[in-house]
Amino acid sequence: MRLRLCAAYDHDKARHEKRLAMAALPDGWIEAAGEDLHFPQAGVVDPPAFVRALLGATPLRQAKIIRLDNQNGKWRTEDADGNHDVFDAVIIANGLDALSFTQVSALPLAGALGQIDWFPEAPAPEAPAPTSATAFGPYIAPAPQGGVVIGATYAPIEIGRSPAFSQEATQTNIAAVRAKFPELGAALTPERARPRASIRCTTPDRSPIAGPVPDWTFYADAYDGLRHGLTTPYKDGQSQDGLYILTGLGSRGLVSAPLAAAMIAAEIAGAPAPVEAGVAEALHPARFFIRELKKAKPQ
């Protein structure tokens, strides 16, 4: 399967040219196709199958964690059935619901509701399902279980609200395809759509949050000088031993989560980091706190 990235706007053409000129990908991974970009190695991922493959033989126990406490240097979890477990290390990785844990509840996370629509059968003989994925702002792609999938909508949603699909979002997805591929779009009718809505977890700078959970009291004391513009050398940040977070993956979690997770796994295991220090800094959970201090006016 392949991926075609279309130039939907004039500025996309310049961006595509820049991407080609960067030559950041190996030979044959990115090609010009008129004004569009073509990725012969890329394709569509079946998310549940991808997660199963990543999990491999790792033992999994599913439970809703309602409480997390540090006791004698270990992390104690309590689940919704009243079971307790004790761990040397815990990674909070539950999207927007991370805010339910007091240790990270101050992070500036937000929700973005998204809906995709799946059409299980090829839309129509005269307009068959595409054989490669095409992204043009929205996207249309062959679905892993057959037919096509189109999407996705993007709208703010209040924290605490459950996601729900809507006819309106289905119409929006169909209209986007019709504007770009009129024949194929005409064969997609709302009655045949199987919608699915979910919530993306976003951050103010649109980058994920991945790393050790800061010791917030230490940060507030040690970096208070930033509010007064003091540039004296500051101590290194301190974190809550054994507690990590990976969230804020926004619209690209399937792409960015594995590397962010490898970064945290390396830190827990004391192995060399798989990314440069600048990447870890850009994703650090304390970055918003530090930025707020720098912006704050002295009292």
Ligand X SMILES: Cc1cc2nc3c(=O)[nH]c(=O)nc-3n(C[C@H](O)[C@H](O)[C@H](O)COP(=O)(O)OP(=O)(O)OC[C@H]3O[C@@H](n4cnc5c(N)ncnc54)[C@H](O)[C@@H]3O)c2cc1C
CB of 276 to ligand X, least distance (A): 22
Q: Is 37 in the site for ligand X (CB under 6 A)?
A: no
Q: How far is the CB of 282 from ligand X (least distance, A)?
A: 17
The first and second tokens of residue 54, run together, are 């990543």
Distances from the Cα of 50 to the Cαs of 2, 258, 279, in angstroms? 17, 11, 24
| Ramachandran category for residue 89: left, alpha or beta (phi over 0 → left; psi -120 to 50 → alpha) | beta
**Nearest to residue 85, comparing CAs of 75, 94, 95, 93?**
75
Q: Is 64 in the site for ligand X (CB under 6 A)?
A: yes
| Minimum CB distance to ligand X, residue 66 (Å) | 6
What tokens does 286 get? 């304390």
Between 95 and 214, whose beta carbon lies closer to ligand X? 95
Residue 135 CB, shortest distance to ligand X, in Å, is 9
DSSP 130: P
By CB under 6 A, tell whether 97 contacts ligand X: yes
Q: What is the DSSP string of 231-269?
A: -S--PPP-EEEEEEEEE--TT-HHHHHHHHHHHHHHHHH
Q: How many residues bind ligand X (CB under 6 A)?
A: 22
- Choose the stretch contacting ligand X; rule: CB under 6 A; options: 25-33, 67-75, 250-258, 271-279: 250-258
- Cα distance between residue 102 and residue 116, in whole Å: 32
* Selected range binding ligand X among 9-17, 109-117, 274-282, 291-299, rule: CB under 6 A: 109-117
Of 145 and 299, CB closest to ligand X: 145
| 142 is an interface residue for ligand X by CB under 6 A | no
Q: Residue 279 carries which side chain, given as an amino acid letter? A: V
252-271 residues in contact with ligand X (CB under 6 A) are 252-255, 257
Contacts with ligand X, residue ranges (CB under 6 A)? 64-65, 93-95, 97, 114-116, 151-152, 198, 200, 247, 249-255, 257
